[in-house]
A and B are shown apart, each in its own frame.
Chain A
């Protein structure tokens, strides 16, 4: 700072104020303040120069967007054609081809609901009903069987709707379980407490993949002869059991943040345990844990990609399936970048929102 200030005075004399607010000053202050920073800037710029132009050339200049696989192999750039040629399978998997509008509409509805929920003014009593109504309409759209819609079995769900369902439904279903576990962990009753701690720590200690293996291979053995449960629902159950343990820890943090006075005040009013929790403690605790809960939703959303390993056709698996067909073999960077973009857009908007919310709730 002092150096650049001196330079300004020497070189520019009285014109300093213009320089101070100009682009040049900004560059000086932020990129070339001091020897070390200048070297850092130059090295970084050099590295960017080495990386970005070739990448841009590959991705945009030499690339093909709507060609056949053969044309792609002849070219040297990126072959984005793999995406438009297979987009419907990547996004919707085995859902009957002519009915693709239904998951499409359901997804649009979900995005609409999420956008609607962004505004906290909408969070009131009818808010829950709107969500329940929205989710049921989405369910009906996906499943069919009512209002003259052709029934589509959940076996045939795939692609992005499956990813969204596994993560969002997993989150919603895991929340009550997580709250129960958190309450249990903070309970005075040793047996309940032990069971909850055991459950939470056990689940948090093992990788999700072991639970998914369990859902794929062991769950069928747990049920009596003759009862079978759909693979997707089993994986969903594993994700719920897994997410609940993490939610429990987040909620526990919220419960711990409620001061003792609140508990005591509730007790002195003569409220029983359920009333105390439902009316006094949980409303405050759950409000505190909204931002970290969004964090859990993000990781649940990313973690659903693990169902690839048990051969469920989520959006990553459908992409890999496209890459397994002889004509499109070898264009994996393009396909993976596309899927990465989908995940990035979803997660980035969620985490951005969670950060904003955190600020709003703090003030």
Chain B
């Protein structure tokens, strides 16, 4: 840039202006700047961490996973003892999280749908009660509810020796809910196979029935027949096997019940707390979903002579589900994430086992990264599944 050469100078300036004002180049510059800042920040934190770890001589790496855990875990879906490795302990925790999330989601959807419909009931009392329930449950932190249920569980229920037996073979005590299950019999796997076969049969039958209806207009009693096949087939096998009815009844031996199936108070409190809390949100979603379907739809369906059950299953639900599913997905994810609060009431879920691991090994970074990765996977899997289901439902729209 020499002075006294106006021609070049203006050209030069114009060029430079154009260069700096080019949105593409600007965008690249901005992105480099942002990446640079994020990178520098990351590097700063990372180098500090490495420095601190070295200075405090804290062990790093995932080598600890292969060390003996040497702590016991209260409940487990797979055999586990204190002699097993940390990695197995963490697996036990992850399975427990899946267990509570899976059962919780199913129960939540059932209860939430029920409450949502109750909220819309024409019965004033039922509707208002549902409204009060939804409002109260939504406004109290889940953690507080968990604490409450847990203390409620062991404060109200008696010890195993004075267990309440509301039904034959079902015992309720502060050790949890124990109930009788049928004793193992060789016919059981065949019954299970029959059930699966029944399900497949029902699936094809429904397709056939729908096609037939489209062709001829005749309605086939699909529901009754499906129920009949799904229950009837295993039942026949059971009868053929000589109707084995021996039950594995829980008995009080020494300290505790043996036999039967046990649901611990920690699991019970966590499940009840999560379900009751999340169901309130699901109820609102279901209510909004049903209300989003105009009254005209119901009236039109009634006018063409559909029965109330058919109105619901053929007209309202398919439309409402499309409104309901996306927010329902996020509630399911919330339930899964909230199950991490198990650590506060002593249910050995993944966070609980991981925090014990952190405490015993002192390797916090690895432990917390594991927690995050595992929950990210849960979230990803749930949303993948729900997206798939959502797409499937959306197809109905045509």
Contact = CB atoms under 8 A, between A and B. Distances in A.
Chains A and B share a contact (CB less than 8 Å)? yes
A207 B336 CA distance: 9
Please report whether the interface of chain B is mostly helix, strand, loop or mixed according to DSSP. Answer: helix
A344 interface: yes
A37 B123 contact: yes
Interface stretch (B209-217, B313-321, B371-379): B371-379
Contacts of B136: 344
Given A31-B125, A218-B364, A340-B148, A206 B376 contact: yes
A100 B219 CA distance: 74
Contact of B371 (A191, A210, A330): A210
A189 B35 CA distance: 11
Contact of B141 (A40, A41, A218, A305): A305
B123 A218 contact: no
Interface stretch (B48-56, B169-177, B259-267, B286-294): B48-56
B142 A206 contact: no
B147 A306 contact: no
A205 interface: yes
B376 A202 contact: yes
B129 interface: yes
A336 B125 contact: no
B289 to A, nearest CB: 18
B148 A210 contact: no
B139 A333 contact: no
Judged by DSSP, the binding face of A is helix
B365 interface: yes
B122 A339 contact: no
Interface in B95-137: 121-126, 129, 135-136
Contacts of B365: 218, 221
A348 B131 CA distance: 13
A45 B141 CA distance: 29
Interface string A326-360: 00001011001101100110111001000000000
A4 to B, nearest CB: 12
A308 B344 CA distance: 9
Interface residues of B, number: 54
22 contacts: A37-B121, A37-B123, A40-B123, A191-B35, A192-B31, A205-B379, A206-B337, A207-B341, A207-B351, A208-B337, A209-B341, A210-B351, A210-B375, A221-B49, A305-B141, A306-B143, A336-B148, A343-B139, A343-B140, A343-B144, A347-B139, A351-B135
Interface stretch (A64-72, A222-230, A275-283): A222-230
Contacts of A343: 139-141, 144
A197 to B, nearest CB: 13
A309 interface: yes
Given A191-B34, A206-B371, A207-B375, A339 B123 contact: no
A207 B337 CA distance: 5
Interface in B193-238: none
Interface in A298-334: 298, 302-303, 305-306, 308-309, 316, 320, 330, 332-333
Interface in B354-379: 355, 358, 364-365, 368, 371-372, 375-376, 379
Contacts of A271: none
A188 interface: yes
A44 interface: yes
A308 B139 CA distance: 18
B124 A192 contact: no
Contact of B144 (A214, A221, A305): A305
B55 A336 contact: no
Nearest to A217: B364
B35 to A, nearest CB: 5
A45 B125 contact: yes
Interface residues of A, number: 54
B239 interface: no
A332 B139 contact: no
Contacts of A222: 45, 48-49
Interface string B22-55: 0000010011001100100000010011011101
B344 A309 contact: yes
Nearest to A345: B139
B151 A33 contact: no
Interface of A: 30-31, 33, 37, 40-41, 44-45, 188-192, 195, 202, 204-210, 213-214, 217-218, 220-225, 298, 302-303, 305-306, 308-309, 316, 320, 330, 332-333, 336-337, 339-340, 343-344, 346-348, 351
A1 to B, nearest CB: 9
B338 interface: yes
Contacts of A347: 138-140
B329 interface: no
B52 A225 contact: yes
Given A190-B31, A209-B340, 12 more contacts: A31-B124, A189-B34, A206-B379, A210-B368, A210-B371, A213-B364, A221-B52, A221-B365, A302-B141, A302-B142, A333-B148, A340-B148
A45 to B, nearest CB: 7
A188 B31 CA distance: 10
A347 B343 CA distance: 25
Contact of A30 (B124, B139, B341, B372): B124
Contacts of A218: 364-365, 368
Interface in B364-398: 364-365, 368, 371-372, 375-376, 379-380
Interface string B135-163: 11011111111011001100100000000
Contacts of A320: 147
A340 B140 contact: yes
A198 B380 CA distance: 13
B129 A44 contact: yes
B14 to A, nearest CB: 19
Given A45-B125, A221-B53, A308 B143 contact: yes
A250 B366 CA distance: 32
A348 B52 contact: no
Nearest to B30: A189
B143 A30 contact: no
Interface string B43-81: 001001101110100000000000000000000000000
B141 A210 contact: no
B51 A224 contact: yes
Contact of A210 (B45, B126, B338, B340): B340
Nearest to A220: B52
Nearest to A209: B340
Contacts of B125: 30-31, 40-41, 44-45
